[in-house]
Each structure stands twice: as structure tokens, then as C-alpha cells.
Amino acid sequence: MVDFVKRRRLYYLISTLVILGGIVAMIISTQTYRERSIIRLSIDFVGGALFQLQFEPVAGQMPGTLTGSAIQQAFTAAGLTDVTAQRVGIGETYRWQVRANFGDDSAEQIEAIAQNLTTLANSLNLTFDAQHFRENFSEVSPVVGSEVTNAAIVATVVASVLVLFWIALAFRKLKHSFRYGVTALIAMIHDVLIMLGAMSIMGLIAGWEADALFVTALLTVVGYSVQDTIVVFDRIRENDVRHRGEPYELIVNRSLLETIQRSLMTQIAVGFVLVALLLLTSGSIQQFVGILLVGLTSGSYSSIFIAVPLLVSWENGEIPFVNRAARQRAAAA
């Protein structure tokens, strides 16, 4: 019988390294973005106006160097403030994303900006897609952005607390039922950190922004992770009755082996669909699918290799500051 639980310290190490990489990206993000946020936030959260710019080189001519400061000047000349220009994509691309505070005369300002950008493009042997610029413009008030941010935080915290107490209640007939709720919550936090880290990295590399769809993906993964964890916990509950007297580690490992195939098959089936969508979509939908794929993969991993092994570590007294009696028994042996 394959002993998955025996390698639990390796699983903890892998997760720690991945999460640390994400935390490094989050720290860099706080020094990069104006909002000092750990991920790049869309106007859904911070409010303001968002513009999509698309330039193309003129055929047969050497294009000049298009800089963010030149683009910012085109916007400030039209009366906009707090302008931030960000190249979209990897390498020397001609697609830019601009965020700014908008004035009152929206239609007149958009036309003025389009004229300024066209003039800038002509001076650099580039063409500016003014129609694309007009069609890909969005605006959100700071009040709405603040409400979305608060709602996202409250929804995540409430979901976490409800999961903790619901699992503890569902497994109340088992010894130390509260441990099941705590380990499921730790696995859920693990998945949230993985998603935040991935979003932070992609924000720095490819300009991905967290919008309302990111919150949807986050809450979806929270529910998926808990559901996957409960499947294994429920089998542990059944085997604890069937194989009473066996070592707890053996019961947990047997339960994991009996459920791992179902978990992996479900993840693979969902993964195929998400990969297809990732390849066929673009824009915010592609970002949503990408971060959802990362989250669901992390959810399957944490259910099998984090939540369940943590139960064994807790039982054996391997977690600092908890279950000291088990550590004392192990030391005496």
C-alpha cells in the first residue's frame, strides 16, 4: 500500500516554497502599483477610467519608440489626472492599458485623447486604432470600487468562518472534530494564497488585473476545495468505525487511497475544459479561466496533500504549540 501520508513534510515544503514565491511577487507589487496593493486591481475596485490602446507599425517604415510617458502626456493634455500607462503583454508590444481619473466632459475628453494619440502615433511612424480606443473604454466611480472591495473581503471571511463551524458540526461524533474544521480552513487559506500569488505574478508579467470575476473565481475555489476535502474526511469517518483500533495514520492513509482516484479524475475532467477555454478566450474571461484553473488545481492538491496530512501531524504532535501530550508520548517512547 502506497504511504502518501508518510511524505507529508515534503508536501508542506512544496506548498511553502510556492506560497513564498507568491509572497515575494506580492511585495514587489506593493512597490509597483499606485494603490500599494498586493495584486493589480482593476477599476472595479479602485474606481476611475480604463482605456485600451492599440498601435501598429506603418508598413515599410521604421517605427519610433513608444513610451509610457508620451502616452501619459497625451492624456494629461486632455485634462485627465493620475494617469498610469502600462504596456500589455511580454516584450516589445504596441498594446497599452491606461488608467486615470476622468473629468466631467467625457465625450469631449475621449475625442481629445484620441486626437492626441493619433498625432503621437503619426510622429512615430505608427497607426492608432481610434475605433478600438472608443469601444474599449470603461469607468467606475470610487464609491462603487470601495463597495466591491468591502463586499469581496466580507464574503471571503464569512465563508471561511461558516466552513470552519459547519465541518466541526458535521464531524462532531469523531474524536477531536474541531481539528477537521481547522485543517479544512488551513487548506482553504492555502488555496487563496496560491491564487493571490499567481494573480500577483501574472499582474507583473502580463498585466492581469483583479476584477469582479476574480472574486467569483476565489469563492468558487473556496467551495470546491472544501467539498473535495470533505469527501476524504467522510471516508476517514467511515474507516474510523470499520477499523477501530488501527493506528490513526493507517486509517487516514487508507481513506486517502480510497478517494484519491475520484478527486484526480474530477480535476482532470474539469482541467480539460478550462484549458480549452483558456486557449479559445481572451481578455478578462481568459484571466478568469486561468486563475480558476490555478485555484482548482491547488484545491485538489491541498485537499489530498495538505488537509489530510495535517490531521496526522496534529494527532502525532508534530505541529508546534498544539497536542503537547502526543509529543511527550513520542519523546518518552
Most confident of 91-100, 236-245, 322-331: 236-245
What are 131-183's pLDDT values in tens digits? 888 888 777 766 666 676 677 778 778 877 887 788 778 777 777 778 888 88
Judge contact between 303 and 255, C-beta under 8 A: no
Q: Is 56 left (phi over 0), alpha (psi -120 to 50) or beta?
A: beta
Point out which residues pair with 24 in neighbouring strands.
none
CATH architecture under which domain 5-35+142-332 falls: Up-down Bundle (1.20)
Distance CA(224)–CA(11), nearest Å, equals 20
Q: Does 278 score more than 90 pLDDT?
A: no
AA identity, residue 2: V
Query: Which of 108, 87, 104 is CA-nearest to residue 96?
Result: 87
What are 192-209's pLDDT values in tens digits? 999 999 999 998 888 888
What are 83-94's pLDDT values in tens digits? 878 777 655 668
E strand or H helix at 75, and its extent?
helix 68-76
As a whole number, the mean pLDDT across the chain is 83
AA identity, residue 7: R
In the Cβ-directed half-sphere of 267, how many Cα atoms lie within 13 Å?
24
From start to end of the chain, where are the E strands?
48-57, 81-87, 95-101, 126-128, 137-140
**Taking the CA atoms of the chain, what radius of gyration do you get in angstroms?**
25
CATH 3.40.50 at 48-140, yes or no: no
Please enumerate in sequence order all residues whose Cβ is within 8 A of that of 243, keeping only pairs 6 or more positions apart, or say none: 250, 251, 254
* Domain(s) of CATH 3.30.70: residues in the chain: 48-140
Q: What is the mean pLDDT of residues 95-114?
A: 79
Helix then strand then coil, % of the chain, to nearest 5: 70, 10, 20
Q: Does 79 score more than 60 pLDDT?
A: yes
* Domain(s) of CATH 1.20.1640.10: residues in the chain: 5-35+142-332
Residue 104 CA, chain-centre distance (Å), reads 35
Distance CA(81)–CA(77), nearest Å, equals 9
Quote the percentage of the chain above a pLDDT of 70: 90
Point out which residues pair with 49 in neighbouring strands.
100, 139
Only one residue has cell 513608444, namely: 66
What are 1-27's pLDDT values in tens digits? 677 788 889 999 999 999 999 999 999
**What does residue 82 show for φ and ψ, rounded to 5 degrees?**
50, 50
AA identity, residue 218: L
Please enumerate in sequence order all residues whose Cβ is within 8 A of that of 245, keeping only pairs 6 or more positions apart, or say none: none
How many other CB atoms are there within 10 angstroms of residue 80's CB atom? 22
Only one residue has cell 474524536, namely: 175
Point out which residues pair with 97 in neighbouring strands.
52, 86
Residue 236 pLDDT: 86
